[in-house]
Structure 1
Amino acid sequence: MTYPQSSFVAPNAYSLAEAMFNDAAWFRAIYAGKAPVGFIMLEDDTDKQAYYLWRFMIAPQFQKRGYGAQAIALLIEYVQTRPGAKELLLGYIDHPQGPAEFYRRQGFTETGKVEGGEVEMRLAL
């Protein structure tokens, strides 16, 4: 990721390290054919029946090509199969070049909560 997007999300190496110590972490690389274009990680907590888009990124050279929207659509399909899934939550850093508009186009809406400097969004399933 390049600035300012690099300041909105943790590096993939950090995310993978976190995932190794969290049983609820579900993560995938995002590919276009054989080319890796991004990364997605979900907090998939079936005990609490809570689902949170924890990390999501598409490499700058692959943005605005529909890969992100396709990845989110596939994530939503997956979450809908999880026990008690009623919503998918996420948090974003509010910035003019941030992802808020992208998430709105995917159907997410702000909840009015801000935690740890991140604006919470929700998608009803």
Structure 2
Amino acid sequence: MVKLQLKQVNEQNFFDVINLKSDEDQVKKFQIFERWVGSNAFFIALSSVKGWTCKAIYDGETLIGFATYGYDHEEQRYEMVSIMLGYQFQGKGYGKKALSLVLNAMVKEFNCEDIYLTVIPENAQAIHIYKSLGFEATGEIFKAFHDEHVYCLKVNDLKETVV
């Protein structure tokens, strides 16, 4: 039985979080950017200057993923900045549930009406999950390490709620 929860990144789980990799070939590497997402260490560091929230995603007591979210002052909007699952946990039905958990935490914490995210256009699996929850492409391109497409979710259109 899946029991997902968000936990603070702290001294006890910090190294586990930064060593969680989205792709098996990343395990022996330390890079700022992985194949589909920036490294967890990168987002923890960036959050310290942007004021974003970092959360470890657990199934019970097992660390399975990581998310970063908050208000982007430059864009003047709430963003789910990053979400990732460890490669060992991908393809096991966690993606949509973990994303829903983070989105619901954002709505509860910020009472936001819209949530934005960016995604590399070749990441078809992520785009499928985002669209299944109600995200729609805005037509914007975010210039980052890769050109990323911008998607927006109208919170009233959120198609799944995690309780």
Tell me how far 1:92 sits from its aligned partner.
0.3
Match of 1:51 among 74, 78, 87: 78
Tell me how far 1:6 sits from its aligned partner.
2.7
Please tell me whether Structure 1 or Structure 2 has the larger radius of gyration of its CA atoms: 2
Report runs of 4+ in structure 1 exceeding 3 Å deviation.
none
In structure 2, runs of 5+ residues without a counterpart are 1-21, 27-32, 156-163
Aligned-partner residue type, residue 12 of structure 1: N
The answer for the alignment partner of 1:6 in structure 2 is 34
The answer for the alignment partner of 1:107 in structure 2 is 134
Tell me how far 1:34 sits from its aligned partner.
1.1
| Aligned residues: CA RMSD | 2.5
TM-score (norm 2): 0.66
Q: Is the 8 A contact 1:32 1:67 kept in 2?
A: no
**Aligned pairs, number:** 123
Q: Which has the higher strand share?
A: 1
The answer for the alignment partner of 2:100 in structure 1 is 73
In structure 1, runs of 5+ residues without a counterpart are none
Inter-CA distance 74–94: structure 2 relative to 1 (3 Å threshold): same
TM-score (norm 1): 0.84
Q: Deviations over 1:75-111 (max 9, x none)?
A: 2222223456111100000115552112112221111
